[in-house]
Structure 1
Amino acid sequence: MLNLHWRAKGSWSVVGRAFAAALARRTPVAFIDPPEGLPVSGVPVSADAVTINFGDWRLSPTLPGRRVVSYIPWETSRIPWPIRRKLRRLDHLWVPSEWQREVFLRNGISAEKLSVVPLGFDPEAFHPPVTPRQPGPVFRFLFVGKWEERKALPELLEAFCSEFRADEPVELVLHAHNPFLADFDQEERLRQELRKLGARDARVRCRGEVALADLVRAYREADAFVLPTRSEGWGLPLLEAMACGLPCIATNYSGLTAFAHAGNALLVETDGVIRVRDPFFFHPWLIWGTWARPNVAHLRRLMRQVVEQREESTALGQAAAREVAAKWTWDHAAEVALARVAELK
């Protein structure tokens, strides 16, 4: 059996819930302080069981269990010293990708403490439509992710507005809500970024935070997915888009390369790396290292390619859907997680 704890906001809460359900299908799970709305299994918490913490890793030393595993996503090349010192004291760490494992090793985290356990997606929700979508009069690019510096939205807007003329039947839809920023106004932020570009482009539209069914519909109504991110510990929206059969454009860097490669996605070249700067998510008094600078010119060419080469792009999306369904579901992730638990002494 396992003990399981998580307390998180946004996408990480969704991740914890989905992972918990997959684990509970395979072994008894005792939930520590379960979030509201989660069905409680009735299994009591055991001090002899392994505890997996999907929540705040700083709580791990306070949690019961024979061993406590802290699942930690990470997106930058450097772990600031105060955080690194605390991570070294933790019992065991899971990371979602081999890229992140290498980052942690370079930052002095012991290999004996580290295991790679991938994330996954729900194939019941995210899959290609039974009836293939027919091309509409307007080609729609879709972006899904928080509006933050790491996602490189200014570069995406620059690429879109520069590449496609105002009279071309192409649009960009942003699902870029940020629940962590108080009074965040996605529409106003978009207007600000377009003003910087000297653009007044009505073909770029925002959608706010949506329920799962609406998110699935957004993938189904899109013609291509684009994520010119600077860095990802994993990249769940990209995986979901691939599972839905969309041709996907993403930066050739970081954790998403665990499942996205030249055979199933269009990968944006990088212009090296730049220093991490985002005072809200990454404290400015600490040194976080670097992340990628996506090449805007190459991003433009790939966006043009998927518009003009519809047949080839559709085939690429279909190949991606088949591959990720065979390798990257939550059930697959749970099997890997249980194998790692069995290795713990």
Structure 2
Amino acid sequence: MPVAFIDPPEGHPPSATPVSADAVTLNLGDWQISPTLPGRRVVSYVPWETSRIPWPVRRKLQRLDHILVLSEWQRGLFVRNGIAAEKLSVVPLGFDPEVFRPGPRQRPADAPFRFLFIGKWEARKALPELLEAFCAEFGPEERVELVLHAHNPFIDGFDQEARLRKELKKLKAENRNILCRGDLPLPELVRAYRDADAFVLPTRAEGWGLPLLEAMACGLPCITTNYSALTTFAHAGNALLVDVADFIRVRDPFFFNGWLNWGTWAKPDVSHLRRLMRQVVEQPEKAAALGRSAAHEVVDKWTWDHAATVAMERLATLR
């Protein structure tokens, strides 16, 4: 069975890509153009984060031949929203173990304890809750810092440092040890993971959570919300999971059309987040052991080779 992969570069019409009429076409780009693609059957890769699929989006999804979802969490969500179970196959993401792995740190041994956040600054990532927790728990006199790699290139004119200043002013915490950093090339990204003491992602929801998985692969103790697809690989045995305080309506004017009902996502418990952050600072050896255990586990289960094997097994069943 021939399989054609389509992930067209910007400006390149996907329908112009030569594909056999008998092929199963795997669309790794915009799933909404799948009905226009050639092939006997088009398989669409569709990540998802919210609890509800608005009816205009659901109608488009129902017209797709077959859908790859990233987790059992997402599969259940889609079925509850009216997508036929037989149209869904679970194919996870992964990481490159030759790149993301434990290694020597370049910071001095007596440097401040460093929390690391990597992700776009948007409502879904719960940066206000993270800043609230950090500023409430750690005073400016403590040798603890938070480093944010939170630029969002999808928001025109986004200024990470200005946004941070605005949030800290709200909290009356302008003097906290919080640093903004920009996007990094791959070698420096790996170094950022290795130079941190803990990774923190108190997200509202994740379609998968690649930075979290990469941090675990690098041996970092990780703090993250106990909700959504990331619980596929992050659990109480290999990470510190933040309780969900509530489920709140999805609101984000940049990425979710406000005229549609996207359902809910999690509100992380700030008090619990504070306790977990304090715990890793006061028990660094125990936290480091958790990180080492996580690295051993994810390299056995969640690499790109594993993901590719699962994908080919799923595609082979399609006729």
- TM-score interval, smaller chain: over 0.9
Deviation at 1:135, TM superposition (A): 4.0
The residue that corresponds to 1:49 in the other structure is 23
Task: Spell out, residue by residue over 1:216-251, the C-alpha distance to the aligned partner (whole angstroms, 9 max, x if none).
Answer: 111011000000000001100000000000000000
| CA pair 7-237 structure 1, distance change in 2 beyond 3 A | farther
**Structure 1: segments with no counterpart, 5+ residues:** 10-30, 35-42
Q: 1:186 aligns with which of 151, 160, 163?
A: 160
Q: 2:302 aligns with which of 305, 313, 328?
A: 328
TM-score (norm 2): 0.95
Deviation at 1:136, TM superposition (A): 3.3
Show the 5 A alignment for 1:25-174: 45-129=19-103, 135-174=109-148
The residue that corresponds to 1:234 in the other structure is 208
| CA pair 7-287 structure 1, distance change in 2 beyond 3 A | farther
Deviation at 1:46, TM superposition (A): 2.1
Distance 2:121 2:9 in 1: 18
Distance 1:321 1:159 in 2: 26
Distance 1:178 1:132 in 2: 27
| CA pair 166-271 structure 1, distance change in 2 beyond 3 A | same
Give the secondary-structure state (helix, strand or coil) at the position aligned to 1:85: helix
Distance 2:274 2:105 in 1: 30
The residue that corresponds to 1:224 in the other structure is 198
TM-score (norm 1): 0.88
Deviates more, 1:56-65 or 1:330-339: 56-65
| CA pair 214-131 structure 1, distance change in 2 beyond 3 A | closer
| CA pair 240-8 structure 1, distance change in 2 beyond 3 A | farther
Task: Spell out, residue by residue over 1:182-227, the C-alpha distance to the aligned partner (whole angstroms, 9 max, x if none).
Answer: 1110000000000111111341011112211121111011000000
| CA pair 8-196 structure 1, distance change in 2 beyond 3 A | farther
Deviation at 1:140, TM superposition (A): 0.4
| CA pair 174-4 structure 1, distance change in 2 beyond 3 A | same
- How many residues are treated as equivalent by the alignment? 316
**Structure 2: segments with no counterpart, 5+ residues:** none
Identical-pair percentage: 70
Letter of the 1:114 counterpart: L
Q: Is the CA contact 1:5–1:32 (under 8 Å) kept in the aligned structure 2?
A: no
The residue that corresponds to 1:2 in the other structure is 3
Deviation at 1:134, TM superposition (A): 7.2
